[in-house]
Structure 1
Amino acid sequence: MKVLVAASKGRTMIDDTASDVRLQAVPPAGGRRTRAGFWLIAAVYTLVMLGGTLPVPLYALWAPEMGFGPFTTTLVFAVYALGTVLALTVFASLSDRAGRRPLLAAAVLAAATSTALFLLADDVGTLLAARFLCGLGTGVFTATATAALGELAGAGHVRRVSTVSTAANMGGLGLGTVVAGLFAQYGADPTRLVFWVYLASLVPALLAVVVTPETVTARQLPALSLRRPAFPDRRAARTEFLRAATAVLAAFAVSGLFSSLVPSFLREQLHVHNVAAVGAEVGLLFIVALIAQVATPERWLSRRWPAPAFLVAGVAVLEAGLWTRSLPTFAAGTLLAGTGIGLAFRRGVGITQRLADPRRRADLLSTYFLFVYTGTIVPTLALGLLDQTVNQDVATLILAVAVVATALAGTVSRPSTAVT
């Protein structure tokens, strides 16, 4: 059967049963430059995500310097997620038309500008601007880099792409808090030295993006507009995608609660004042998520129940650690929740890559990551608001129940197609 497909210079007739979709116009996987480009983008992806969590252990140091309390801390954290949501709804899908490299380069430059603002920050307004711009760069890079990795690897390497992209994402998030904690505890300038080093590292990162092969050859002038979330056309594919997206929304709700809660919990309730230890505890969640993605058997990733099971168990144990003020219990909950986050995220990326239209790959990935960061921002803001009326234990319990309900919602249905 013949179908019409819109191209940049008219309309082209193609055979929808053919395995070669000509409009995709992706360089053939396997070339030396293409293979090098794959790993270069993966490395820069890790670095950009690392920058997203550098500020997390430093809130406790900024608070007395700038005179803000827990609610402002929550707001600063949430502004980052707001920036990512804006990027995903307005900018990220532009790479399907303008090309991957221009958007990746712009995201690196946004990260550099954000880092410069962190270096200059001496008030809450500058801190909010830096965090928001950091979120913009991260949102654009996340969806665009994941699409570029899929195209650089080739159509037959979905598992490889999902493993590498999720490793870059989770690995970067985990390393960011650890690195910032070490610099803050043992460096000469607790709140600035780490940003000087990070800013210097973005220079070779930008060069790496420039030398990577472009994977979108049928480029057009981008049209900037507020986009609606994209979903697969087929009903079965749309249902499968929504299940995976719901699971990752619940997973990153746990991540958002954890990242905004842990620094103050460790300092105020458990009297842990070593910033490196605080950064390591936050980073542990993401490092465990990374290990879970790499070490988990493939048969677990083809099923929907493992990720929600670990998430629910992790949330329950985390809550027990909060109420009993027990660091070992809290750490055990971190291990369980981190495993659930890793499984949900990697499975979701694999499903999204498989279901995405090659011509609009970044579009569907943008929707997927919109679920990710919505999961981060909603409970974080809710925690800040609830904390004004009820104590922290009750606030986190309310949100924990909501997270558990969301995690379980995606499992109440018949088995879906395995990730391939």
Structure 2
Amino acid sequence: MRSTQHTESPVATAAPGRHAPPATAAEPPPRREVWLAAWPVTAVFILSNTATPLYVLWQRRLGFSSGMLTVVFACYIVGLLAALLVAGVVSDRVGRKPVLLPALAMGIVASVLFATAGSIAALAIARLLSGVAVGAIVSAGMAAVADVAGPERRRLAALLASTAMVLGAGLGPLLAGVLSEALPGPTVTVFVVEIALLALAVLVVVRMPLPRPAGPRSGAWVRVPSVPRANRVHLLLGIAVFAPGITSTSFVLSLGPSLLADLLGTSNRVVAGATAFVMFTAATAVQFAVRRLKVAAILSAGAVSTVGAMASLALAVHLSATPLLALAAVLAGAGQGMGQLGGLTLISARVPAARLAEANAALNVGGYLPAGLLPVAVGYLSDAVGLSTGTTVFSAVVAAAALAGGAVVAARRRTTL
């Protein structure tokens, strides 16, 4: 009697005299699986900016300066950069889930600390942990979206990963602004909601269909993330536009509420949250609008948008004009969105899959380093010379960087892009 338990390939079991059916490639997962894979990125990025409209409450309660406020904000960047030194390499070697699940757990702990914060130290630790969670997510989470999408959907994966990031970054402050004004516990309720969102993300990661890691096992586990030598120019072109864009949005997030309160005469947390939401809604919408353009055109438009944002920001503080600040936020969001999409698209298309998470980490190191340092410097400069002068200096520096990035993209348009 033949055993029915042993199975073989169609070629091996074909009947004599008949041609075996050709082997077919595995079917790509449904598109809804790719969209669902982006949810953990959104959930963690909601946490990343949830505290933005609440800083004025903590500042009033705990009594710290604008300089100290930017230091608390920068703790997030420190945690993020520290995570980027290891998360990409570990994700490529061990797998996405062993990085994603601890990152989500850190996000939950950070939410608890925010909800119960009674000191500057507690806020700083919460920001640090949320930065670690985001650093892991931008490395492993974005690579996981590409893994689920498969090689035939690389542009879709880059678009979804990038828009998930900016959409979450915009939803966080909007939720915080609305819930803190409408419900009791203005610095508590939104973090209870965030814990629920992160728990849902854990369930998504657990069931996510991910392939085995293909990254090399040799070399240091903790290192500055990099890409293969042949892909360095692609990484640098992405950073050249992404870095000024995300630096401009970081300023709006860290000192935007202070600008609204001190210069424009409003301390409403819904307005502060809505400003950030509009900024990241623009970052999300513009990516869908330009997704079919060539990468060079996307990056060039991102640089131009960031320059426009900085011009509007400088005018807003000198004229005390709320509409100009709103315009600056929209243009800054568009600049970050296009720089981010262009950089991720280049990486996704050119970098080998075995180094993809590390490449994502490298792009974000290049972007978040100035995004962390410049707002802190401007915060302390503003304490010394005034918020208006500090903002003007910041605008000039970032605009110059964006112009330089756009010039580099234009110079390499025909040879590299």
TM-score between both structures, scaled by the size of structure 1: 0.88
Q: Does 1:416 align with 2:413?
A: yes
Separation in 2, partners of 1:386, 1:345: 28
Q: Does 1:135 align with 2:131?
A: yes
Structure 1's 323 and 38: CA in aligned 2 closer, same or farther, altered over 3 A? same
Q: Does 1:277 align with 2:271?
A: yes
Query: How far off its partner does 1:357 sit?
Result: 1.8
On the 8 A contact 1:301/1:343 being kept in 2, the answer is: no
How do residues 11-410 of structure 1 correspond to structure 2 at under 5 angstroms? 28=26, 30-31=28-29, 35=31, 37-217=33-213, 225-234=221-230, 237-296=231-290, 298-299=292-293, 301-303=295-297, 304-410=299-405
3-state SS of the aligned residue for 2:336?
helix
Separation in 1, partners of 2:209, 2:415: 31
On the 8 A contact 2:88/2:359 being kept in 1, the answer is: no
Separation in 2, partners of 1:346, 1:29: 27
Pairs aligned (count): 390
3-state SS of the aligned residue for 1:388?
helix
Map Cα deviations across residues 265-303 of structure 1 (whole Å, 9 max, x no partner).
111222212211111012211111111111126226432
Give the aligned residue type for 2:193: V
Query: How far off its partner does 1:37 sit?
Result: 4.2
Separation in 2, partners of 1:90, 1:375: 20
Query: How far off its partner does 1:384 sit?
Result: 2.0
On the 8 A contact 1:28/1:154 being kept in 2, the answer is: no
Larger Cα-atom Rg: 2
On the 8 A contact 2:235/2:347 being kept in 1, the answer is: yes
Bigger CA drift: 400-409 or 44-53?
400-409
Give the aligned residue type for 2:333: G
> Superposition RMSD on alpha carbons, in Å?
2.2
Structure 1 unpaired stretches of 5+: 1-26
Separation in 2, partners of 1:349, 1:382: 28
Structure 2 unpaired stretches of 5+: 1-24
> Percent identity over the alignment?
27
On the 8 A contact 2:225/2:362 being kept in 1, the answer is: yes
Structure 1's 118 and 221: CA in aligned 2 closer, same or farther, altered over 3 A? farther
Give the aligned residue type for 1:353: S
Residue 5 of structure 1: aligned partner: none
3-state SS of the aligned residue for 2:229?
coil
Structure 1's 254 and 223: CA in aligned 2 closer, same or farther, altered over 3 A? same
On the 8 A contact 2:94/2:213 being kept in 1, the answer is: no
Separation in 1, partners of 2:355, 2:318: 46
On the 8 A contact 1:293/1:346 being kept in 2, the answer is: yes
Structure 1's 65 and 29: CA in aligned 2 closer, same or farther, altered over 3 A? farther
Separation in 1, partners of 2:208, 2:165: 19
Separation in 1, partners of 2:77, 2:276: 17
Query: How far off its partner does 1:209 sit?
Result: 0.6
Query: How far off its partner does 1:29 sit?
Result: 5.7
On the 8 A contact 1:44/1:208 being kept in 2, the answer is: yes
